Amino acid sequence: MKACVCFLLMCVLAAQAEESPKILTLSKVMNELKKIQQGLTNSNKTWFNSPATNDLKDCCVASALECFRSKVLHLSVSDEKLKKSQRSVHHELRKSFIVDSVSCTPQETQKAQCKSCEAYTMVNSRTFVDNFKTLLQKIYARQA
């Protein structure tokens, strides 16, 4: 009986090990983004183009993620620790296994006619971060 339980536990851990880099990275990014959100300054004065995740086509998730990633360094934050969080989010989302997990084939992406970052509606920085968090949660839910 103990051998069976140990074998089952090993199988579960092995299955989780394949997904863990994606899950761990997404969790880290979401935690850093939460810190950034709490330390935003001038949130109503700074505006960003922001994909609205509820209108986002599946094959446009990768380009939307890149839009968020490219703008995160421009958020106004209150201290140096939060600037480190910004750099961390920017860096972590460049990892190929994150991008690959949300990418479609070039043909599917072209057919979806994804918007460029500049084509999205302008929102204040607080709404920008909320939209970013929603997209990350959507990606996380697919990976889990």
Phi, psi of 40 (to 5 degrees): -65, 140
Q: Which residues of 70-85 are buried (b: 16+ CB within 10 A; e: fewer)?
A: ebbeebebeeeebeeb
CATH 1.20.1250.70 fits 21-143, yes or no: yes
Average pLDDT, the chain: 85
What is the pTM for the complete model shown?
Answer: 0.81
* Sequence-distant (≥ 6) Cβ neighbours of residue 58 within 8 angstroms: 104, 112
Measured between alpha carbons, how far is 125 from 127 in angstroms, rounded to an integer? 5
Whether the predicted pLDDT of 32 surpasses 90? yes
* Residue 49 bridge partners (DSSP): 122
- Say if residues 133 and 30 touch (Cβ distance below 8 Å): yes
The answer for 104, left when phi > 0, alpha when psi is -120 to 50, beta otherwise, is beta
Nearest to 132 by CA among 84, 75, 59: 75
More confident residue, 128 or 55: 128
Residue ranges of domains in the chain: 21-143
Lowest mean pLDDT among 82-86, 98-102, 126-130: 98-102
